[in-house]
Structure 1
Amino acid sequence: MVNRMESSETLRNKCAACFKQFNRMEHLVEHMRTSFHSVHEPICTVCKKHCRSFESLREHLIGPLPKLECKNIFNVRGCRFCLTILDSPNAHRIHQERCQLSNGLTARLANLGLRDNATVDNTYSRNPQIVALACKMVGGGTDGSLDYCGRVCVIDEHENIIFHAYVTPPVQVTNYRYETTGIRPEHLRDALPLRQVQRKIQDFLCNGEPNWRIRARGGNARILVGHGLDHDLDRLQVEYPPIMIRDTAKYPPLMKTSKLSNSLKYLTQAYLGYDIQTGVQDPYEDCVATMRLYMRMKSQVHRREEYPLASDPQNRNIFATAPWRQNELERMSPEELLAISRSDYYCWCLDRSA
């Protein structure tokens, strides 16, 4: 009888999201207060466990110590790119062929042609609202270790080149890093000055709006996608509001379980199924990879919530520590606690309703 009671109490104190068990209900409430579980977390479609990142979900399914039941099903019907589980082996085969995005960037780049005149071109996409940016850096300073932008590319969501330019850094280049950048002295001889490139990109991103007036919804400013954009924008001397930036290096579901960034090379191989940056690196290739990653994350279907973020004013008292609220929370079931919990990061699926 005692064992049965203990088992029932343990089940009541088990997190409905990550399945952690607690000795007391107050400990579960504290866990929910700090974990920010939500419908936007990657979820195992077999056991419904919530994971903090896709890397954690991958470990749960096919890592060194996976959950055996989930692993067995995933091995037969699971997609190793988007980590979903299909209804049948045949559905899995068809899905994975579509899910693995082929490269084909060399031929596409040749067909489009590079726009070395550095004009912003909307021929392929009228007034695009989502663009990706990538830079390749050359070295400055006595040892060539200081990064300066030597080449920049901007594409639209259909992977068309909108803007491309070689850039003259504000200091003397002491290392062209040709093995990875492909940039030679002759490329920068007649290149655009950094200030001119900065102004073109700044004006294009803001799209007629002053920086200080840009807001997350309802404006003209463009969503900017990239990898390590803080560094790229700093080298371009471009200021842009964080609410309009989608950085694959800082997006929690795409980060390591240790909460450190994954490289773009790894993310492309793991989640898109092809290799990049294998020799001389082209910024267009990086733009395409980040845009594809963004579109994959954006296309996820999660339950709609009126106020999806823990930081929304309407959610600030959900897990309040006041005694009366603590008592209410401790009377809730684990499922009820999960239902009121909200995410601590902006899920890119929310851009679909922006």
Structure 2
Amino acid sequence: MDCRFETAETRRNKCAACYRQFNKVEHLVEHMKISYHSVHEPTCGICRKHCRSFESLREHLIGPLPKQECREIFANRGCKFCLKVLDSPNSRRIHQQKCQLSGLNGISGRFSNMGIRDNLTTGGGATTRGPQVVALACKMVGGGSDGSLDLCGRVCLIDEHENIIFQCYVNPLIPITNYRYETTGMRQEYLRDAMPLKLVQRKIQDFLCNGEPIWTIRSRGGKAKILVGHGLDHDLASLQIEYPTTKIRDTAKYPPLMKTSKLSNSLKYLTQVYLGYDIQNGIQDPYDDCVAAMRLYMRMKTQIHKIEDYPLASDPQNRNNFATWRQSELERMSPEQMLEISRSDYYCWCMDSSYSL
């Protein structure tokens, strides 16, 4: 709706976050109950519209059917990677040079046949700067009669500074029938003396738990590490490792990075669009995947959002924010007041920066 023809009544029925217009204020209240708008949503730096994901924000700014006024300003002053809007074209140029990260340029090739690298240690205490963060990735070979069963043939763990902590070939529990050389670069002789899966499982799980029994690991604090990756359910299942979901940061499941609420983007796509370089071309190294996932995590973690005492809709203190018995009170609120009490339905990774240990 053209804002020139908005009345006081239509403005009252317009969502202060996504700008969706409703015929009646009670419809706006119902929308706010299920939308979970919050300060943690990707937001247009021009018109301040909230979007559910960065994909939605990208469509709003770039296309195929962008908001025209925002598109024109973004084309002149916007960063195509992080989608921020800068003060001037020159500021955008300087910012985007830093925002576009470089590829690994052969680093993975130097590591590809180095065999075992094992710097796993446990028992280190948590530090005051925040929880320890590591990224994990596996490369799969094939098992079963047709080679379609995914088996972990190689695993890599890195720290937040992109240093390799652990890397080895893995000897799975059942025979390999397809080494998938075109993408894994693995041959039979590489896995002949590979580390048994059970040993890999125990070493990695002990390292992640860092001396804490898995059933005592808390979502905040403690010594257990935050685990970053892409499609970690698949990787952990192939390693037969269990780890608390509250300690997992999966770029395939993080709502702001997803294609839709049910569909994930590939790590290759996310790296190209949000980091500015290509991965997974030809023979693939799990180190490259670890680095890409860690860089995406760090980019999401370092976003600056308003600090709230109880930032999640699931927090007990927010239970009655949009309760049915408050309907009359909610209908008297302005859209801005309703947005103020609305909370996110997902854990924003920016909160990892404010861990209290």
* Bin for the TM-score computed over the shorter chain: over 0.9
Aligned to 2:20: 20
1:275-297: per-residue Cα shift (whole Å, max 9, x none)? 00011000000000000000000
1:107 Cα deviation after fit = 3.4
Deviations along 1:59-114, whole A, 9 cap, x unmatched? 0000111000000000000000000000011100000000000013523763x787
Question: In structure 2, what is the Cα distance between the partners aligned to 1:304 and 1:214?
Answer: 25
Aligned residues: 346
| Contact 2:108 2:285 (C-alpha < 8 Å) held by counterparts | no
In the TM superposition, 1:192-211 aligns within 5 A as 192-211=195-214
Q: Distance in 1 between matches of 2:285 and 2:10?
A: 55
Aligned to 2:189: 186
Of the three residues 292, 296, 308, the one matched with 2:295 is 292
Unaligned runs of 5+ in 2: none
Deviation at 1:218, TM superposition (A): 1.5
Amino acid at match of 2:339: L
Q: What corresponds to 1:56 in structure 2?
A: 56
Q: Secondary structure at the match of 2:7?
A: helix
Asked whether the 8 Å contact 1:154–1:284 carries over to 2, the reply is yes
1:166 to 169, 180, 184: 169
1:4-83 aligned at under 5 Å gives the runs 7-83=7-83
> Does structure 1 residue 318 correspond to structure 2 residue 321?
yes
1:43–1:51 contact (8 Å) kept in structure 2: yes
1:346 alignment partner AA:
Y
- Please state how far the C-alpha of 1:115 moved relative to its aligned partner: 5.8
Q: What is the distance in 1 between the residues matched to 2:261 and 2:318? A: 27
Shift, 1:8, TM fit: 1.8
Deviation, 1:30, is 0.4
The residue matched to 2:283 in structure 1 has which SS? coil
In the alignment, structure 1 residue 301 sits paired with structure 2 residue 300: no
The correspondence of residues 134-145 of structure 1 with structure 2, limited to 5 A, is: 134-145=137-148
Task: Return closer, same or farther for 1:190/1:241 CA change in 2, 3 Å cut-off.
Answer: same
Letter in 2 for 1:27: H
Name the SS for the 2:340 alignment partner.
Answer: helix
| Contiguous gaps of at least 5 residues in structure 1 | none
2:231 matched residue in structure 1: 228
Q: Does 1:117 align with 2:116?
A: yes
Task: Identify if the C-alpha distance between structure 1 residues 227 and 339 changes in structure 2 by more than 3 Å, giving closer, same or farther.
Answer: same
| 2:102 maps to 1:99 | no
Residue identity matched to 2:94: I
